[in-house]
Amino acid sequence: MSKKGIVYLIGAGPGDPELLTLKGKRILEIAEVVVYDRLVSDAVLTFANQEAEFIYVGKVSGKHALAQDEINALLVQKADENKIVARLKGGDPYLFGRGGEEAAYIRDHGHKFEVVPGITSALAVPAYAGIPVTHRDATSSFAIITGHEKPGKNESSIKWREIANGIGTLVFLMGVENLGFICEQLMKNGRSADTPVALIRWGTLPDQEVLTGKLDDIVEKVNQLQFKPPAVIVVGEVVNLREKLNWVENRPLWGKKIIVTRARTQASQLVGKIRNLGGQAIEYPTIKIVREEMLQPLYNAFNNIEHYNWIIFTSVNAVEIFFDEMLKCGMDIRNLKGIKICAIGPATRDTITRRGLCVNVVPDEYRAEGILKELSQEIEPSQWILLPRARDSRQILPDTIRQWGASVNEVYLYRAVTARQVSSPTKELILDGQVDYITFTSSSTVSNFVKMLGKENVARFDKQVRVACIGPVTADTARKNGFTVDIIPREYTINALLDAIVEEVQMGSDY
């Protein structure tokens, strides 16, 4: 049976990438075309199949990448090509998202569609600002209203008298530019001028801003502070609960923009921890892990595995490739009986133990020098050492062990190559010094970062941005490339690196 195109209308949620639904994420991972709007964050797009065709169709007031008729035609065109199309919309596709129009057009042109609802900003954004839309002590009713209706229409589709008097909480979407008109209509139709109002800009994201006031003064406050859209407007007594129920802005990294330079396949742990602490993790992968095409030296080592006394693993990547290839060769952990194992740090150790093996040595200092210190009394002359690792690694480890009289078989399993360029907006944020921290977790992340941005540009942002390096070797590489290194944790781990950043932020360092 021939493949037929299908369009999925997916709600991307209000901005926080972790509020994307599981089904939305699953569809994005298989989509061949991703058609996305302005309010879909880069972080949500990272969930998508990176080999897909990405098409931006965002709309800003007075400026549209594509008109709605053109978007409709584009979706059908891609379905005609038998593609799996993800139409990604901010919030929910059927709440002021014109999803119904797109669905009808797709069906009228003979294609299937499915709707993947999203968490609407009308509920999530107030919640992240500490404002419940209903509360038994304040109100048991609420309404979601478009704020985009233009003043001066011959007949309004909004029943202002009914909503002004009959509904407790009013949530207006896309209404900042019409705020004066909205406040005027509510007061004109009976809502008290003292009614609390909140405007929440970039809600659920680390750069969320909240402005509160009353119906009779909120417009003046917006003008004074030049509070710009997009923002959700909440009107009602529930706004007064914000002082007590505000939670997200109290997290330790709230509002901090932190660049993560690890390979995308490795970044999830650090990214997740930053987000859990309230920070904005901006992925700028500088390296891509590429397996060596010719692994015959590893297979030769497998064939003689019984001769080895030690295996030294210096990275999680090496562990994963080593054991994957061992299984492909019909071997398992029983073949490693009697061989002692050294892991460079806790993450590498944990990856090994999950494979069912105990680790004999983990140094106190998580780098080559620490391994040498621990093994100097363990390795004996004439022993055989297997060292599976990355090409272009530092030579201090094998060279020193050979000086002890042992035989070292250094087997290259992968290379860390420079990643392809990332989005221009992210690059400009960095160059303009508009981020708080840049994290480097290896010398290769530093070197490739500089290649991607240009060494001549480092001085442009170095004084505005804090640089956090996982250890002294990485820090030395950073300094050689013109960076001022501000943070090196006491332990050379991801957790310790993040803890050091949190400690500095909580101390309120003047920088």
pLDDT at 371: 95
Active-site residue identified among 25, 59, 221, 288: 59
* Cα atoms found within 13 Å of the Cα of residue 438, Cβ hemisphere only: 31
Backbone phi and psi for residue 82, each to the nearest 5 degrees, phi listed first:
65, 35
> What residues are paired with 386 via a beta bridge?
311, 409
**pLDDT (0 to 100) of residue 45:** 92
Residues 6+ apart with CB under 8 A from 456: none
462 carries an active-site annotation: no
Q: What is the largest CA-CA distance in the chain?
A: 94
d(CA 35, CA 114): 15
16, 37, 92, 486: the catalytic one is: 37
Roughly what angle, to the nearest 10 degrees, separates helices 218-225 and 179-188?
170
Q: What is the dihedral of CA 252, 257, 262, 267, to 10 degrees?
A: 50
Complete domains list, the chain, with CATH: 6-118 (3.40.1010.10), 123-249 (3.30.950.10), 257-286+420-507 (3.40.50.10090), 290-418 (3.40.50.10090)
* CA angle, residues 95, 96, 101, in degrees to nearest 5: 95
Q: Which residues pair with 312 in a beta bridge?
A: 342
Token pair for residue 485? 């290194």
pLDDT score recorded for residue 1: 40
User: According to the model, what pLDDT value does residue 148 have?
Assistant: 76
Q: Amino acid identity of 334?
A: R
| Helix/strand/coil for 231 | strand
How large is the C-alpha radius of gyration of the chain? 28
Q: Tokens 């391994």 identify what position?
A: 371
Residue positions counted in the chain: 511
Distance separating alpha carbons of residues 37 and 24, to the nearest angstrom: 15
- Name residue 454's beta-bridge partners: none
- Tell which residue, 217, 277, 220, 215, has the closest CA to residue 252: 277
Report which DSSP code applies to 249: G
Task: Calculate helix-pair angle for 99-108, 68-80, nearest 10 degrees.
Answer: 40
Contact by Cβ (8 Å): 2, 82: yes
State phi, psi for 120 to the nearest 5 degrees: -75, 145
Q: For residues 133 and 168, is the Cβ–Cβ distance under 8 A?
A: no
Residue 37 among the catalytic residues = yes
Identify the three-state secondary structure at position 418: strand
**C-alpha torsion 392→397→402→406, nearest 10:** -120
Question: Does residue 59 have an active-site annotation?
Answer: yes
Distance CA 60, CA 490 (A): 47
Q: Distance between terminal CA atoms of the chain?
A: 63
Per annotation, catalytic residue among 78, 92, 174, 257: 174
Exposure b/e, 53-73, CB count within 10 A at least 16 = b: eebebebeeeeeebeeeebbe
For residue 6, which of 113, 115, 150 has the smallest C-alpha distance? Answer: 113
Q: Give the pLDDT of the chain (511 residues) as one tens digit per residue.
A: 445 899 999 999 999 888 999 999 999 999 999 999 988 988 899 899 989 999 999 876 656 678 899 999 999 999 999 999 999 999 999 999 899 999 999 999 999 999 999 999 999 999 999 999 999 988 999 999 998 776 566 667 889 999 999 899 999 998 999 999 999 999 999 999 999 999 999 999 888 999 999 999 999 999 999 999 989 999 999 999 999 999 998 899 998 999 999 877 677 788 889 988 999 888 888 888 889 999 999 999 999 999 999 999 999 999 999 999 999 999 999 999 999 999 999 989 999 999 999 999 999 888 899 999 999 999 999 999 999 999 988 999 999 999 999 999 999 999 888 876 666 778 888 999 999 999 999 898 999 999 889 999 999 999 999 999 999 999 999 999 999 999 999 988 889 999 999 999 988 754 4
Q: Strands 231-235, 196-201: parallel, antiparallel or unpaired by DSSP?
A: antiparallel
The pLDDT, as a whole number, for residue 427 is 87
